[in-house]
Amino acid sequence: MRLFDVLVMGLVVAAVVILIRIILGTPLVKRVAADIAESFVSGGLTNTMTECPGSATMYMHDGAAYCCSGKIMSADSAKDTCRPLPNRDSTLTFCTLGPAKVDVPNCLELRAGLMQAEGEKVCPPSLPNFVRGPKGSATEAGRCCYGPANETYDDCTGGEHCNVGDANIFKDPTSCGFLKAQHDDVCPSGFGRLQAKGQGPLADLTLHGCTNSSQNCYSVATLKRLVELGYDVNGLPSCSSH
């Protein structure tokens, strides 16, 4: 090989090395590498979601994936790219599908918060951990768990649970709605809790109410729910009169 060829090859190799160093030194590559390293260190790769929660839309900003339920804007900082929609009362969902940042939570962490808030509304205290799976799954309408939820908050990890979504909770005394309503009933002084089969037109229902052994009564909320379902409640005394 001629000396000229050797010199040319050496210059090409040097140029390639310099180019690789320049690429590796760019802010984007450094940031991606740091995020990957952070994921391995913090367990982020096993604690992330692959889709956005609820109605949020996924988008990319500065090399990272974010989810926003509002209006997605062009901005320098990530937190300014997701703005609330005008005239909307719902809480803005904004999170990242990658490792959590200082001012942006990981979507799984946010989903956990949303699940906890929903659980307080629909779950009985004995089964406090709420989960909801994708459409078509057994947990699509929601489920309340005695034990912890799984990592993706779409099912229980085992143990006792109840299902959400039965329109007529009085036909299934094991449903979350029945158990929650039964717990929410406040009985008058001297009355204890009651669970019994209905009579006559209500024979196919299980009713929760209050009793003092000699007489029964039912909460205003229970009577209202029965009326909404089309039942005649004239024979059921209200606890509001005690």
Residue 217 lies in a domain: yes
Among residues 211, 216, 236, 210, the alpha carbon closest in space to that of 224 is found at 236
Extract the tokens encoding 211: 């009793």
**Of 14-18, 137-141, 203-207, where does mean pLDDT reach its minimum?**
14-18
What is the predicted pLDDT for the residue at 224?
94
Half-sphere exposure of 39 (CA within 13 A, CB side): 18
Tally of structural domains, the chain: 1
Average pLDDT over residues 168-177: 93
DSSP run (H or E) holding 208: strand 206-211
Among residues 112, 134, 127, the alpha carbon closest in space to that of 163 is found at 127
DSSP run (H or E) holding 192: strand 192-197
| C-alpha span between 215 and 220 (Å, rounded) | 16
3-state secondary structure of 213: coil
Plot region of 145 (φ>0 → left; ψ -120 to 50 → alpha; else → beta): beta
With a cut of 70, say whether residue 32 has pLDDT above it: no
| C-alpha span between 148 and 115 (Å, rounded) | 12
Instruction: Kindly report, residue by residue over 39-88, the tens digit of the pLDDT.
Output: 333 333 334 567 787 678 999 999 999 999 899 999 999 989 999 988 76
Residue 214 lies in a domain: yes
Residue 119 lies in a domain: no
Average pLDDT over residues 86-92: 69
Kindly provide the b/e burial profile for residues 154-171, where b requires at least 16 CB atoms within 10 angstroms of the residue's own CB. Answer: bbbeeeebbbbebebbbe
Among residues 94, 24, 91, 25, the alpha carbon closest in space to that of 64 is found at 94
CB atoms within 10 A of CB 3: 7
What is the predicted pLDDT for the residue at 69?
87
Residue 142 lies in a domain: no
| C-alpha span between 3 and 206 (Å, rounded) | 97
Residue 175 lies in a domain: no
Q: In residues, how long is the chain?
A: 242
Instruction: Kindly report, residue by residue over 216-237, the tens digit of the pLDDT.
Output: 999 999 999 999 999 999 989 9
Looking at 25-154, list the stretches that DSSP marks H as alpha helix, in order from N- to C-terminal side.
27-42, 107-122
The answer to whether 199 touches 208, Cβ cutoff 8 Å, is no
Instruction: Kindly report, residue by residue over 112-136, the tens digit of the pLDDT.
Output: 888 888 888 999 999 999 999 988 8
- Provide the domain limits for residue 229: 185-241
